[in-house]
Amino acid sequence: MTEPKLDLDQIRAVIKIASESPDVAELEVASETLKVVVKKVAGAVRAVVSTPASSPSASPAAVPSTQPAATGSTDQLVSITAPMVGTFYRAAKPDASPFVAEGDLVEPGQAVCIIEAMKLFNEIQSEVRGRVAKILVENASPVEYGQLLMLVDTTAP
């Protein structure tokens, strides 16, 4: 019988446990198919999700973090998460071009999207340098606090 896979809600729960527990500096959860390592570093919570070496065909992913993990992994993805509840917009205006598209290079401090909350438009900025690997939210969609918005590959040239 195969071991059940961890889903995104379970991974988020692991991150929440680590971030809300003052005595936990590092937390690791592993199954046959997935390994999640959550570390608190300099006030930030970083999470890396990977596949064990015995399962090379599965692709690794990342979950909410504020900076790249210190592992130096060549497949490092850093997520940009929603800092508030609101509506996600890829561009400043409906007829404007998006702040970023998949494959674009981003720099720290560069605006990547807007979240509208209570008629205030808040620019969300990248905290890392890298290439936008995946945009996870549709334009004009509601988002929750901590929701993954996009993934940035920090190893991309």
pLDDT tens for each residue of 91-123: 999 999 999 999 999 999 999 999 998 888 999
Domain boundaries, the chain: 8-67, 80-153
| Stretch (H or E) spanning 27 | strand 26-30
pLDDT tens for each residue of 48-93: 555 554 434 333 344 444 443 434 443 588 889 998 999 999 999 9
Strands 111-117, 61-62: pairing is unpaired
Q: Which residue has the tokens 């959860």?
A: 29
Helices (H), 31-101: none
> Per CATH, is 80-153 categorized as 3.40.1010.10?
no
Q: Which residues of 135-149 are buried (b: 16+ CB within 10 A; e: fewer)?
A: bbbeeeeebeebbbb
